[in-house]
Amino acid sequence: MEEQRMPLIGDDAPSFKAVTTQGPISFPEDYKGKWVILFSHPADFTPVCTTEFITFASIMDELKEMNTELIGLSVDSLYSHIAWLRKIQELDYKGMKNVEVKFPLIEDIRMEVANKFGMIQPNASNTQAVRAVFFIDPKAKIRCILYYPLSLGRNFDEIKRIIKGLQKADSDGVATPADWRPGDDVIVPTAGSCGVAKERMESKDDNMYCLDWFLCFKKEKK
């Protein structure tokens, strides 16, 4: 099997056409103007994956409100996907029950899409995709990548935080500090000259404060 370089942050997300549980899709054409979370899982009917799909489905509407669409992938067949997603509707996990997975789940038996995104990692498994998460912006650029080992379930609060943080950075031209949550103060771009650094340190702007010339925050309205 031909090895392909894993795409990196800032790269164009690889394009693909795929058969899914929601019909055929073409990426990125079908997702113009949308943020996309493309994620892989090792296999259908596995415990960790089942808890993740229930959780992904439960936050789908919340993500749509953030202009974000979900696309799942594993190397199982379409019929296996359908059987598994039907079984998921019968389960009750943490009070989430009767959950219908409405986002597309890619059939990738030949591992074509998984290999384009570096989701098959031989030291983990030659036949299963690791738990990868690609955050792709409306211009089809990869903005963030998370990788989890087969045994570790994903953190969904962090997945939502990443989307909100990336969108905040794009809309306001700012950066987000450690452990940022929506509503927290944000970091303004570092001063690019001695003059600007001096102005910031002497500024009386009530909406901004500096810990030092290179670390200034913009207050967010609570």
Catalytic residues: 49
To the question of whether residue 154 is assigned a binding role by annotation, the answer is: no
In this structure, what token pair is assigned to residue 176?
A: 């987000």
The DSSP bridge partners found for residue 98 are none
> Residue-wise over 156-188: b if at least 16 C-beta within 10 A, else e?
eeebbbbbbbbbbeeeeebebeeebeeeebbbb
CA distance 209 to 34: 34
Measuring CA to CA, which residue among 149, 177, 156 is closest to residue 68?
Answer: 156
Instruction: Give phi and psi for 221, each to the nearest 5.
Output: -70, 130
CA distance 110 to 75: 7
Per-position DSSP letters for 93-130, written without gaps between them: ETTEES----S-EEE-TT-HHHHHTT---TTT-SSS--
Residue pair 73/108 in contact (Cβ under 8 Å)? The answer is yes
Residues in the annotated binding site: 131
Residue numbering of the annotated binding site for substrate? 131
